[in-house]
Structure 1
Amino acid sequence: MSTDIIQTNKNWLVWARKSVNYDEETVAQKMNINKEKIRDWERTGKITYSQLIKLSEICQVAPHMFFSKADPVYEKPIVDFRTLENKKIEISPDINFELRNAKNKRETLLDIEDESEDFHVKEFKLKDYSCTSSDDVVNILNNVLEMSKAKRNQRKLNYWISKMEDLGILVFQFYGIPPKDLRGYVLYYDKLPIIGINHRETENGRKFTLFHELAHLLLKKEGLSNFESYNLNNDIEVQCNYIAGEVLVPNKDIDYRVKNGEIKDFTNSNLIKKLANYYKVSGEVIVRKFLMGDYINSKDYEIYKNDLNKYLFPTSKKNSKKSIKKQKEDITVEEKEKRKKETNRRIAQKTITENGDYYISSLIYAYYNDILTLLDIARNLDVSIDIVKSIIQIMDEKWRD
């Protein structure tokens, strides 16, 4: 059967490749075939079963889609606010997969809502706000989030993610994309808008990105962000940077410190670190506040560029895997079982972090109410059933606390 030629809808073969921005050469290399074969499939729709399965895995689509009689509808490309050395960069397949996955998760919750009379997806509480200026957005966020000096200085990332979820926002963290390519994204909907932030940034870096993307939501400007430039060309990115910076580190605070003589040397590394630690933000936020407040001018920036750029463009966290040779050890069955549980728990916690408490809790609700099975959840989260059981255990512990 695997070598039998089957007839598919050729338009879906084309869509599967183009929807994630793969070219013919890339797909051909991944499938270890000539790219002429790809062109032949897309011209005739004829392909072997085994090749179809492999293509569906590469493009991350369900095989049954290729047999649909209706032609695919191409979505409008997402707005891309990213720049690299002031040049536009391509939306990679990994980014397209991340966006598709995020949209599918949102659809999952809407499906659960349809299946249950008692489960209601949260409305986006800020959808009716009309913002005419950056300061309007800052005032709204300060009021809605009940922002205070204590919260700015003490609350960590998880607290703010929880606050965003309370507003009816899905917050996802992605792992496989370098921050220089994508720091965050926003998908706007009146119901369940989505914010994505890059887990490979530092915690305080993610915190700023979270507020940057929240500003995008208030402005109803969805898109991709990385703001990897000192002189941003895009007005929306400049505006969202200002809003995030003002909510987390108000200008009046900086002005007060300057007038009191507490801040004198705006390029001093120790000062930048001290302020970053006080406000629980990255050094990048402090440097940008100095730049945007004209405390550091273009001439100063050029002189101290090397020192300041380590804050503006921090290197991403690297998963360094050191090769350590371990001696073979004899371990008991009980120890093996203990290690397995510890591993499962680590993976479970990572999965919760990646998807957010609200999304995970909704899946568990669907399980307890016989809408989803453990296998359904495992497939949805791309983990084993054992991991799902660990996830449920962790969430139960949270709820008991």
Structure 2
Amino acid sequence: MPRDDFSRDVIDRLAKRAGMRCSCPDCRMPTTGPDASEGITNTGVAAHIAAASPAGARYDEAMTSTERSEIKNGIWLCQTHAKLIDDDEHTYTVAVLEDWKAVAESIARLEARGFEVRRARPFRQLEKKIPKLIAEMREDIRKHELTREFIVLRNRRIGYNPGTTPFFTYFVEDHNEVMSAVKIMIHYGAIYDAGNGGDLHVEVVGDVAQRKLAVVIALEHEPREAAAELAENRQMMRRPTGAGAILKSGIFGKEAGAAAVIERFGSAAEGIGVSVYKLSECEAGDNHLTFPQFLKAANFYKRAPAIFYLNEPPHGFQPIQDFRRLPESPEEAFKSGLEWAIRQARERRELALELRADLGEPIHDFRLQASLKDDPEAVGAAIRKYLGVTQADQQGWRAKAFDNWRSAIEATDVLVFMVPRLPLVEMRGVAIADSKLPLILINSKDRTNGRTFTLLHEFSHLVVRASGISGLDFEAPEPASAVVEQFCNAVAGAALVPADWLLSEYLVRAKGQVKTWDEDELAALATRFGVSREVVLRRLLSLGRTTKAFYDSRRASFLAEYAALEDRTSTGGPPHHLTVLSQLGRGFTRLVFQGYYDRQLTLRDVANHLNMQVTAVPSIERAAFGMAG
């Protein structure tokens, strides 16, 4: 049967009636523009609401051929959403698409008459979270309708004089969590960034929607200095060549001498696209970066651009204990990549907490707890019981051991994230022991069986409530770290390779009193338990089935193998959406999509939270929920 396609006139009218934008309310992207040869490029699609042929989505056999090809049956979409609505006709029904179309055409009609239209968002959950602050804002707006600016100060001892500009003032001492409240308002769309380095603007909720305020957050150092610092920072933010003032703050650090300059600024200069000498001059305040170079600098140093407008660099970021004790581990403060990974993980945790609350899904407290005085064997057994892992389960996992241990851990409301592109020398794992949704980070560069041990090691950190960064050296020489690290190593080994199970294995029983082990024997046992050969050998040592001398002789070769694996260049790999799914975990990814289905998030929010292009979102959605295609 032939398709009932739209005529060229219908296609043209559909596009123009939607304002040449995608009609999906979460998208609204332009679909036309100039090409390189003074022509026009078009990425829009005149999609059928009810399918043009029987094999299509939402086909209605009661419609006539003429009705299927009329403008009433069409909707203008970008290519991504044109495909999406046909891939999932159960979600994108005729009623949904007709609603999209009506809203899109209404918006286009208003915009054509000079109105600016912003999409409203339900604020019921927001009002539940911060009712007192929003009530106070509403009352202030009602009394002073022309005032659009407010400032947040720590307490009433701090003064601020903006000149002739009227403003509202809110105090931390009145609203204990006002800083967090501002972040929540940003997430809900109650606050949006006006761009160009200017102030933030707020759409106040409820019966005063569409009214705008400017937000300035004052973080005081000393009460007498706060107003002056804030006023100066506001002036700096308005400077078109502010990068020089930013760099002069010393945020990048200082060092003298040509060799020191190259050593200090070499990689940064390359990443920003300037010479090391120019970057050094900018640091000293004798030169300026262009604004694009400044944005590259912010990206290279993994800092929000606003941080660089401070008069002084912020205090160093060292929020959790550093347990790293690999021989080559750096002893300076966290490097930017690791710091960024920890910050990003914490932001994802905050998002997960918020989405779970909005969706009405309870979060279980992390209940399992032990002390460093407990028997590691008993704690390992308790972990297996807590996670519900049996010997029969583990025997069937083999090459999928890490994935299955991770799923068992995530099922207890623990977030597990993989960290890409971070050297193993910087970290193998991170544990952040919060009571709700504690975090585990695993370096994706670690070998597969190594990841499994790291995962259980970091889980052991959660059990003893010891947040920290681990290098997982079995022979940690520093007493301060050895107590925690060696305990967590022992617990992880006991959980992964239970003593009774290992000692009952035929290979172990057949050895008798022989304390040496060949590669094939270790490899066979490692495969059986889904761990590395070193973990097996370490367990044999702890159970008296090998000697310390033999273990030490084999450990050197293990370390050489690990170094070779880290140096090996990766070729190929899975599709990008599967890599992202592996990094974020199926549970977190599904939660983000549930937020989208519940209309807590837009499609662009989903893409941002998953760090993907909007066009790739359907691929990761299918993978996360195990759908074919």
Q: 2:301 aligns with which of 24, 48, 59?
A: 59
Higher helix share: 1
Structure 1 CA distance for aligned equivalents of residues 312 and 600 of structure 2: 29
The CA deviation at 1:260 is 3.4
Structure 2 CA distance for aligned equivalents of residues 9 and 294 of structure 1: 64
The CA deviation at 1:253 is 3.2
Structure 2 CA distance for aligned equivalents of residues 275 and 306 of structure 1: 20
The CA deviation at 1:297 is 2.6
1:8 touches 1:66 (CA, 8 Å); kept in 2?
Answer: no
Q: What are the superposed Cα offsets for residues 267-314 of structure 1, whole Å, 9 maximum, x if unpaired?
A: 311110111111121112111112333433333345555556567877
Between 1:232-241 and 1:81-90, the stretch displaced more is: 81-90
Q: How does 1:2-401 map to 2 (within 5 A)?
A: 4-6=240-242, 10=246, 26-31=267-272, 32-33=274-275, 34=277, 35-40=279-284, 48-67=290-309, 72=314, 74-85=316-327, 89-90=331-332, 91-113=334-356, 116=358, 118-120=359-361, 122-126=363-367, 129-131=369-371, 132-133=373-374, 134-155=376-397, 156-230=401-475, 233=478, 234-257=482-505, 260-262=509-511, 264-301=514-551, 303-304=553-554, 309=559, 315-316=565-566, 318-321=568-571, 346-397=575-626
Structure 1 CA distance for aligned equivalents of residues 564 and 544 of structure 2: 22
- Aligned-residue Cα RMSD (Å) equals 3.7
The CA deviation at 1:226 is 2.0
2:515 touches 2:547 (CA, 8 Å); kept in 1?
Answer: no
The CA deviation at 1:149 is 1.6
Structure 2 CA distance for aligned equivalents of residues 26 and 307 of structure 1: 33
Partner residue in 2 for 1:329: none
Between 1:52-61 and 1:184-193, the stretch displaced more is: 52-61
The CA deviation at 1:160 is 1.6
The CA deviation at 1:138 is 2.0
Report % sequence identity: 22
Partner residue in 2 for 1:331: none
Letter aligned with residue 4 of structure 1: P
Structure 1 CA distance for aligned equivalents of residues 559 and 312 of structure 2: 51
- Distance change (3 Å), C-alpha of 1:65 and 1:365: farther
1:288 touches 1:312 (CA, 8 Å); kept in 2?
Answer: no
SS state at 2:430 partner? strand
Structure 2 CA distance for aligned equivalents of residues 68 and 281 of structure 1: 48
1:11 touches 1:72 (CA, 8 Å); kept in 2?
Answer: no
The CA deviation at 1:212 is 0.8
- Distance change (3 Å), C-alpha of 1:243 and 1:12: farther
The CA deviation at 1:63 is 2.7
Structure 1 CA distance for aligned equivalents of residues 316 and 248 of structure 2: 10
Structure 2 CA distance for aligned equivalents of residues 38 and 191 of structure 1: 44
- Distance change (3 Å), C-alpha of 1:177 and 1:125: same
Structure 2 CA distance for aligned equivalents of residues 380 and 74 of structure 1: 26
The CA deviation at 1:9 is 8.3
1:82 touches 1:227 (CA, 8 Å); kept in 2?
Answer: yes
Structure 1 CA distance for aligned equivalents of residues 622 and 329 of structure 2: 47
Between 1:228-237 and 1:203-212, the stretch displaced more is: 228-237
The CA deviation at 1:48 is 4.6
Structure 2 CA distance for aligned equivalents of residues 149 and 297 of structure 1: 27
Structure 2 CA distance for aligned equivalents of residues 130 and 218 of structure 1: 6
- Distance change (3 Å), C-alpha of 1:70 and 1:112: farther
Q: What are the superposed Cα offsets for residues 39-98 of structure 1, whole Å, 9 maximum, x if unpaired?
A: 235x99x86533332222212333344457998565444322222337654433222222
The CA deviation at 1:125 is 2.8
2:447 touches 2:565 (CA, 8 Å); kept in 1?
Answer: no
2:249 touches 2:310 (CA, 8 Å); kept in 1?
Answer: no
Structure 2 CA distance for aligned equivalents of residues 291 and 12 of structure 1: 56
1:284 touches 1:311 (CA, 8 Å); kept in 2?
Answer: no
SS state at 2:461 partner? helix
Letter aligned with residue 260 of structure 1: R
SS state at 2:521 partner? helix
Q: Which runs of 5+ in 2 are unaligned?
A: 1-195, 198-238, 255-262
Structure 2 CA distance for aligned equivalents of residues 223 and 242 of structure 1: 17
SS state at 1:192 partner? coil
Between 1:86-95 and 1:233-242, the stretch displaced more is: 86-95
Partner residue in 2 for 1:340: none
- What's the TM-score once normalised by structure 2's chain length? 0.52
Letter aligned with residue 367 of structure 2: L
Structure 1 CA distance for aligned equivalents of residues 583 and 363 of structure 2: 20
SS state at 2:609 partner? helix
2:424 touches 2:446 (CA, 8 Å); kept in 1?
Answer: yes
Structure 2 CA distance for aligned equivalents of residues 197 and 292 of structure 1: 25
The CA deviation at 1:25 is 5.6
Between 1:310-319 and 1:142-151, the stretch displaced more is: 310-319
Letter aligned with residue 395 of structure 1: A
Q: What is the count of residue pairs matched by the alignment?
A: 370
